[in-house]
């Protein structure tokens, strides 16, 4: 991939990292509001809100980690290579998911297996 394209992916990733941090700050403020209005809320509603906040926080944390890892790969010069098979991730996929760590074939294989462990977790 040429330097101009990598540069544009870098800009996209940097914007994503900024946006995720901004959302994180907003969510923290909302969480505080939930805490202070606890008396008016049913306990289970409050618990559900907290669960949702935790879930979206961990989703965001994962995303931010992936974005930062992609920026690190740009610096190392290995951006756009699949971490699993070393093949090219593909420009179309990177345009849709600039923080992608794996090519589509590896990603699909891994999503298949992670869905299994997800079901096992819920069944347990
Ligand atoms: Zn791969």
Q: What CATH number did the domain enclosing 84 receive?
A: 1.20.120.910
Q: What is the pLDDT of residues 61-76, one digit of tens each?
A: 999 999 999 999 999 9
**Predicted TM-score of the model (pTM):** 0.71
Are the C-beta atoms of residues 13 and 74 closer than 8 Å to each other? yes
Q: How far, in Å, from the CA of 78 to the mean position of ligand 1?
A: 14
Q: How far, in Å, from the CA of 62 to the mean position of ligand 1?
A: 20
Smallest Cα–Cα separation from 17: which of 98, 107, 90, 101? 98
Number of domains in the chain: 1
Full residue range of the structural domain in which residue 75 is found: 3-123
Place 119 in a pLDDT band, splitting at 50, 70 and 90.
very low
Give the other-Cβ count within 10 Å of 13's Cβ. 21
Q: Please, is 54 exposed, middle or buried when counting C-beta atoms within 10 Å of its C-beta (0-12, 13-18, 19+)?
A: exposed
Task: Please compute the mean of the pLDDT values over residues 82-86 and round it to a whole number.
Answer: 96
Environment of ion ligand 1 (residues, CB < 5 A): 82, 84-85, 87, 103, 106
């Amino acid at each position: 991939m040429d330097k101009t394209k990598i540069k544009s992916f870098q800009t996209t990733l940097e914007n994503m990292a900024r946006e995720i941090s901004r959302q994180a700050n907003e969510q923290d403020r909302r969480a505080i509001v939930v805490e202070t209005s606890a008396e008016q809320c049913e306990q289970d509603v409050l618990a559900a809100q907290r669960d949702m906040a935790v879930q979206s926080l961990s989703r965001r944390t994962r995303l931010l980690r992936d974005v930062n890892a992609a920026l690190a790969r740009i610096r190392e010069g290995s951006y756009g290579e699949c971490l699993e098979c070393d093949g090219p991730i593909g420009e179309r996929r990177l345009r849709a998911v600039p923080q992608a760590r794996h090519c589509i074939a590896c990603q699909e294989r891994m999503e298949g297996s992670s869905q299994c462990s997800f079901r096992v977790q819920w069944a347990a």
